[in-house]
Structure 1
Amino acid sequence: MALRPILSSLRHHKLTAGLLVLQVALTLAIVANAAFMVAQRLQRIHTPSGLAEQQLSLIRVEGTAKDENHEARHAADLDTLRRIPGVQAAVAVGWALPFSSSVNSYGVCPNEEALKRAMAASSLDHSGCLSIDTYSGSQGFLQALGLRVIAGRDFTPDEYVTGDVPAIMLTRAAARKFFGDKDPLGQVVFAGKHSSRVVGIVSDVVRPMLRGDGSDGEVMLWPQLPDDNETTYLLRSAPADRDRVLAAAATALQALDPDRLIPEAGRRTYTQMREDYFQRDTTMIGLLLSAGLGLLFVTALGVAGLANFWVQQRTRTIGIRRAIGATRTDILRYFQAENFLIVGGGVVLGMVLALILNLLLMSRYELPRLPVWYLPTGALALWALGQLSVLAPALRASRVPPVVATRSV
């Protein structure tokens, strides 16, 4: 098909064609970046914790008695919880867990020299020390969480204490960060002036709050028993039993001590905790999808509306072309080619705008660089949308009878 008639027609409608080009360009720029942000959020939401999440639930207990023997209380509580039908494991854990939004972080140094540098500078920066998130619990908490010892050994019963711990375990990422290619087993690390020996390496588990900087798997575990009135118990059971087990646990613990507080908000499955943690990401995904689909819908309306307007405006011209031999297919192809050129101009401009917008988002919100393949994918989607939107007006134009068209004024 000769492009000269199409280009000549567009030159006579510069404003309307230009506005549609700009609309397509803005749509591509915004939708491409929105789609990338949605993909990033979805990847974040599906970050594996490393735990047996589907089998875990948590219940928080707040004691009111002063001078209580916490060790005896926890032992009695755990014995009661383990007797509940369906409970496979019950342990007391620290308040920090993956996706808990509660952080228990320590400055840890891999040797005495690094510790001295950090203390001299009153900073961990450039000292070789790390600020590392820590998980703790009572005996058996690794197995209850679903973690595996992949090197070394598990904690022994006598290593579970309420004060400074004699032994720690590291994830592979933390061990690599501390010791590089050196064997971490048997190495001594320093948390403040206290030293602990690395006795094992555990399977991957993430920090309580994701950072997205490559350090999410750098975690330390230690056998520290809870030693205050507020305690969180972690229960492992079959996924279908979790709600029943939580209700039974609350009843049983309240029966042991009616004066204790067991808040409703402190009873939840791990699935609920994950959903709460990623609630903002889920909301953002909904907003971005709504905005992107809304822009595409408005663009489709714009394309269809302009095509309808031009069909009405060119009825006489269409009739003349039909009278001198143009087929219905020729008329249909004309409008489709015209739309292809308009959307093509918008796509080229939109790719540039999309990259500029991505640079702004990178500088202000630390968004990663937009992958190049999003641009041609978005361009193809808009071309397809444009062709579908113009199809109905173009078919209506192709059905205009030559006699009726040539008599129109």
Structure 2
Amino acid sequence: MTMRLDVLPILSTLRRHRLTATLLVLQIALTCAIVSNAIFLIGDRLGWMMTPTGIAEDRLMRIVVSDIGRRGDIHARAQADLAELRGLPGVEAATIGNSLPFSGTTWNSDVSRSPVQGATATAVTLYYGEGLAELLGSRLVAGRFFRSDEYAWLDDHLEGKAPGPTVTLITRDLATRLFGDGNPLGGTLYMHGDVLRVVGVLERLPGAAGFTRDRANDSIVLPWRMVPASGGGYIVRAREGETEKALVDAVKALKRLDPRRVIVSARTYPAIRARFFADDRATAVTLAAVSIALLVITALGIVGLASFWVGQRRRQIGIRRALGASRKDILRYFQTENFLLASMGIGLGMVLAYGINIVLMREYELPGLPLVYLPVGAAVLWALGQAAVLAPALRAASVPPVVATRG
């Protein structure tokens, strides 16, 4: 009953200030809608950026070179380069591979369980390189890695000198997608004329471009040896704690073996991954800045409106004090008034937030907004409203009863 008696005069007062109250409600609604979606998108981006790779990230590096002219036996030169890199004190392993997870340099294809033309196919990321999965540190959960006799040179295949691959490694996520609950080992995949037998399953190995989060690990590894001329780069795993030094030494060694070659890029894997997620990081920072700015503007609006109303109602407040209202009653009045306005704005904002998310899903293929983000946004705005109105409410509560006799 007491709460009802508190609310009714507040609603009556708000009806007399309909335009001002409506503008504040709309401001809170817009802030609620934008902040709820922004918090969700920030969480989505951060979750994507923290996607685990299952590889030895802090010990890996990639060096891309460009040779001037075609000189000598490119296979022998590649093997000589790798022997030199593997002999460096800070290097644990080295190979020539086509890509790395979240590197942006992606090789993709489609695989199918059926040889029939037009059968349902799944897009996958392709990884090449002798011993690449072992070097990266990808964990084998079933089967085996490739044997040495199963590897062939990719450039020979491209020139028609070698047949296509016959075996493959796939990730656990892809195995589930393709084989369901069945055992993928020994299973057959078809890829543009190549018939591949699954010999091993990796725990995870995200694609170079990642596809989408639920398909990040749709990857396969093929037994190709590579040379830089066919799109490969030197992928090196350093010993623990020696990554930066090993990168410098590896670049020097490659230049020493062939001073004419051009080092196109030489980066540690953490730098490669940071470069890939730079746009996502910038998006998250921008959304956070916009959200903070909206919350600050909304808080200032609440403070300004509450301060204005305190100034307008000083005599009314004094009369209430003279009639026996305590400072706590006055404080509660303004906090309740703000809570009602915030609740109206939040209710409208939740509907608006859902509508905005539908548009984002349709136009930008973003995921649906989980309902849990709506009460999160509401709680933030309720707390913000109560904090913003506190100073004006305390100022109102300090109005003495004698004000009622003035003017």
TM-score, normalized by length of structure 2?
A: 0.92
Do the aligned partners of 2:67 and 2:261 also contact (CA within 8 Å) in 1? Answer: yes
Output the CA distance in 1 between the equivalents of 2:223 and 2:50: 29
Q: Which residue of 1 aligns with 2:82?
A: 78
Q: For the structure 1 residues 408 and 243, does the alpha-carbon distance in structure 2 shift closer, same or farther, using more than 3 Å as the test?
A: farther
Q: Which runs of 5+ in 2 are unaligned?
A: 158-163
User: Given residue 212 of structure 2, which amino acid in structure 1 is its aligned partner?
Assistant: G
SS in 1 for 2:225: coil
SS in 2 for 1:262: strand
Q: For the structure 1 residues 249 and 294, does the alpha-carbon distance in structure 2 shift closer, same or farther, using more than 3 Å as the test?
A: same
Do the aligned partners of 1:115 and 1:129 also contact (CA within 8 Å) in 2? Answer: no
1:131 is matched with which residue: 120, 123, 128? Answer: 123
Do the aligned partners of 1:315 and 1:408 also contact (CA within 8 Å) in 2? Answer: no
Output the CA distance in 1 between the equivalents of 2:227 and 2:30: 58
Output the CA distance in 1 between the equivalents of 2:187 and 2:404: 93
State the shift of 1:77 in Å: 0.8
RMSD between aligned residues? 1.7
Q: Which residue of 2 aligns with 1:288?
A: 287
Q: Which residue of 2 aligns with 1:13?
A: 17
Percent identity of equivalent pairs = 43
- 1:178-327 superposed matches below 5 A: 178-212=178-212, 214-229=214-229, 231-238=232-239, 240-263=241-264, 266-327=265-326
SS in 1 for 2:237: strand
Q: For the structure 1 residues 269 and 342, does the alpha-carbon distance in structure 2 shift closer, same or farther, using more than 3 Å as the test?
A: same
> How big is each residue's C-alpha offset from its partner over 1:5-27, in whole Å with a ceiling of 9 and x where there is no partner?
21221111111111111111111
Report whether the alignment pairs 1:147 with 2:150. no
SS in 2 for 1:362: helix
State the shift of 1:196 in Å: 3.2
> How big is each residue's C-alpha offset from its partner over 1:217-251, in whole Å with a ceiling of 9 and x where there is no partner?
22111110114535411111245321111111111
Do the aligned partners of 2:327 and 2:397 also contact (CA within 8 Å) in 1? Answer: yes
Q: For the structure 1 residues 318 and 183, does the alpha-carbon distance in structure 2 shift closer, same or farther, using more than 3 Å as the test?
A: closer
Output the CA distance in 2 between the equivalents of 1:204 and 1:348: 43
Output the CA distance in 2 between the equivalents of 1:375 and 1:257: 61
Do the aligned partners of 1:170 and 1:198 also contact (CA within 8 Å) in 2? Answer: yes
Do the aligned partners of 2:54 and 2:139 also contact (CA within 8 Å) in 1? Answer: no
Q: For the structure 1 residues 181 and 379, does the alpha-carbon distance in structure 2 shift closer, same or farther, using more than 3 Å as the test?
A: closer
Do the aligned partners of 1:62 and 1:231 also contact (CA within 8 Å) in 2? Answer: no
Output the CA distance in 2 between the equivalents of 1:4 and 1:184: 68
User: Given residue 170 of structure 2, which amino acid in structure 1 is its aligned partner?
Assistant: L
State the shift of 1:31 in Å: 0.5
Q: Which residue of 2 aligns with 1:177?
A: 177
Report whether the alignment pairs 1:4 with 2:8. yes
User: Given residue 235 of structure 1, which amino acid in structure 2 is its aligned partner?
Assistant: V
Output the CA distance in 1 between the equivalents of 2:375 and 2:330: 28
State the shift of 1:100 in Å: 1.6
1:160 is matched with which residue: 151, 161, 186? Answer: 151
Do the aligned partners of 1:61 and 1:262 also contact (CA within 8 Å) in 2? Answer: yes
Output the CA distance in 2 between the equivalents of 1:60 and 1:363: 39
Q: For the structure 1 residues 109 and 394, does the alpha-carbon distance in structure 2 shift closer, same or farther, using more than 3 Å as the test?
A: closer
Q: For the structure 1 residues 6 and 250, does the alpha-carbon distance in structure 2 shift closer, same or farther, using more than 3 Å as the test?
A: same
Output the CA distance in 2 between the equivalents of 1:316 and 1:168: 83
Name whichever of 82-91 and 212-221 sits farther off: 212-221
Q: For the structure 1 residues 237 and 331, does the alpha-carbon distance in structure 2 shift closer, same or farther, using more than 3 Å as the test?
A: same
2:66 is matched with which residue: 57, 62, 65? Answer: 62
> How big is each residue's C-alpha offset from its partner over 1:127-173, in whole Å with a ceiling of 9 and x where there is no partner?
033332210102x3222100122222221112121132232111122
The number of residues matched between the two structures is 393
Output the CA distance in 2 between the equivalents of 1:401 and 1:129: 78
Output the CA distance in 1 between the equivalents of 2:183 and 2:15: 73
Q: Which residue of 1 aligns with 2:28?
A: 24
TM-score, normalized by length of structure 1?
A: 0.91
> How big is each residue's C-alpha offset from its partner over 1:69-116, in whole Å with a ceiling of 9 and x where there is no partner?
12111111111111211211111111x321121221223333xxx333
Q: Which residue of 2 aligns with 1:349?
A: 348
State the shift of 1:67 in Å: 4.3
Do the aligned partners of 2:184 and 2:198 also contact (CA within 8 Å) in 1? Answer: yes
SS in 1 for 2:103: coil
Output the CA distance in 2 between the equivalents of 1:333 and 1:181: 61
SS in 1 for 2:104: coil
> How big is each residue's C-alpha offset from its partner over 1:284-335, in whole Å with a ceiling of 9 and x where there is no partner?
0011001111111001000010111111111111111111211111111111
Report whether the alignment pairs 1:104 with 2:99. no
Output the CA distance in 2 between the equivalents of 1:60 and 1:189: 31
User: Given residue 317 of structure 1, which amino acid in structure 2 is its aligned partner?
Assistant: Q
Do the aligned partners of 2:64 and 2:228 also contact (CA within 8 Å) in 1? Answer: no
Output the CA distance in 2 between the equivalents of 1:106 and 1:377: 41
SS in 2 for 1:116: coil
Q: Which residue of 2 aligns with 1:91?
A: 95
Q: Which runs of 5+ in 1 are unaligned?
A: 119-126
